[in-house]
Amino acid sequence: MQALQAPTLRASPLNPLKKPNPNPHFRYVFTLPHRPTKRFTSITASSTTVSAPKREKDPKKRVVVTGMGLVSVFGNDVDVYYDKLLSGESGIGLIDRFDASKFPTRFAGQIRGFTSEGYIDGKNDRRLDDCLRYCIVAGKKALEDADLGGDKLSKIDKERTGVLVGTGMGGLTVFSDGVQNLIEKGHRKITPFFIPYAITNMGSALLAIELGFMGPNYSISTACATSNYCFYAAANHIRRGEADLMIAGGTEAAIIPIGLGGFVACRALSQRNEDPQTASRPWDKERDGFVMGEGAGVLVMESLEHAMKRGAPIIAEYLGGAVNCDAYHMTDPRADGLGVSSCIERSLEDAGVSPEEVNYINAHATSTLAGDLAEINAIKKVFKNTSEIKINATKSMIGHCLGAAGGLEAIATVKAITTGWVHPTINQFNPEPSVEFDTVANEKQQHEVNVGKTLDLCYSDIGVCDSGTGIFNFIIIFKVLRRSYHIHI
């Protein structure tokens, strides 16, 4: 209780490992509207219309989303992905990629039947880590969605086009195989691709090399908050005039023995092996840890001026964002949610959005004991009236995709705004009474979103992260130009 009442941040412990005490999406191609537009929210605290703070009006600085691409446990098509979410289908099952029989957790949101045909040539495809393959396919599909597939890339200035796709863990399979070859066969058996395909920036680099994009190019690795940091940084490159267009998001492929074993060692995973599809159950009293997932989620972001000039299909507008740090513990969240709540407030300020405009939250909600409630506490600090807010958890169906989580959930949030349907949080059997939100339990709901918000923070119950690692908090905010706003946190 003292932590909940503490007026200031606590000092970090000297030992960071020791716990401190306490349907197709809508596409709009149009000129700037000359009349007020109706706004819809992804996070909302009240049905009362409240005038928002001042928003950016300069079309050179306004950032829009014109394309979305993904690789997921439900396939590589955005509409199919969201249809599966709306139906409440679980993508969690027993791992069959390797023998997991000796692990205490033997299930995950493993991607099956993935193919890169038409996007990566066969020779390179055989060499690449899945983390890189997912990135390239998702990136190219996002460009196709933005009407920039194939020869249409000639429409844009490639010197002012960049790539910022991050990953939490990088090419983990390539790294693991290289270490194994070193131990068993000696250094001569290490592939020359060991270093290039293991480092975290190579997804962005390969995509830029193949497409000829010469603008800003790097990666950000902030564990589960990775994708959102990338969106934030990409938008700022555009706002500062350093780029016209950016491909941004996250990719991850960690469902291999060393990845699973590492999270098992952290004691962070659910062990509901007898019923994997019900294992990821955010805000349920019986939750026992998160479920690993994998994939990639990527957005094409560009200035409004640039998008309108080329007649792009405008899906949503990025309004703003914020980043900060709990400065509290390596893995545990602050119980009072202070770091997260202040990050939410800063993102709303940057976006020019008032809390009352928000009526939908796609939460970070990883199904960990401490993390789920810490996030709820933070949200309650900012949004005082919870009666009109819908809050859901994509991870209940696809698992925690680590560095790709924010990307896949941003796409789900934009689809909620554009379709008017909010996907369910499945496995809501015995909900925590303190949540006090409509969690869209087990069945989809029709919901006119005013402003949408996606949370990707960084905390977990015992040893990993909800969207980072107990350290990073990140919030970004989107809106649909004609219908609604999307706030991605």
What is the distance between the alpha carbons of residues 214 and 205, in angstroms, rounded to a whole number? 10
Residue 65 identity: V
Q: Which of 480, 285, 300, 270 is nearest to 395 (CA)?
A: 270
Would you give the distance in Å from CA 37 to the centre of its chain? 27
Is residue 458 annotated as a catalytic residue, yes or no?
no
Q: What is the DSSP string of 399-449?
A: -B-GGGHHHHHHHHHHHHHHHSEE--B---SSB-TT--SB--BSS-EE---
Active site residue 465: no
Kind plus residue range of the DSSP H or E element containing 258: helix 257-265
What does the DSSP assignment read for 450-478?
EEEEEEE----SSSS-SSSSSSEEEEEEE
The Cα 166–Cα 404 span in angstroms is 8
- Written as six digits, the tokens of 103 are 């692990």
Which conformational region is residue 457 in: left (phi greater than 0), alpha (psi within -120 to 50 degrees), or beta?
Answer: beta
Any residues with CB less than 8 A from the CB of 418 and at least 6 apart, and which? 25, 26, 315, 316, 480, 483, 484
Q: Would you mind telling me the total number of residues written for the chain in this entry?
A: 489
CB 44 within 8 A of CB 360: yes
Beta strands in 241-344 (DSSP E): 245-252, 295-303, 316-325
| Beta strand 93-94 pairing with 445-446 | unpaired
Catalytic residue among 25, 237, 329, 400, which? Answer: 400
Q: Which of 224, 230, 343, 465 is catalytic?
A: 224
Tokens of 293: 């997932």
| R_g of the chain computed on alpha carbons | 21
Phi, psi of 469 (to 5 degrees): -150, 55
Contacts of 17 (CB under 8 A, 6+ apart): 330
- Residue 400 known to be catalytic: yes
Selecting among 306, 329, 364, 486, the annotated active-site residue is 364
Beta strands (DSSP E) in 245-367 are 245-252, 295-303, 316-325, 360-362
DSSP string, 115-137: --TTTS-HHHHHHS-HHHHHHHH
Alpha helices, H only, 107-220: 122-127, 130-145, 172-185, 194-198, 202-211
Q: Which residues participate in catalysis according to the annotation?
A: 224, 364, 400
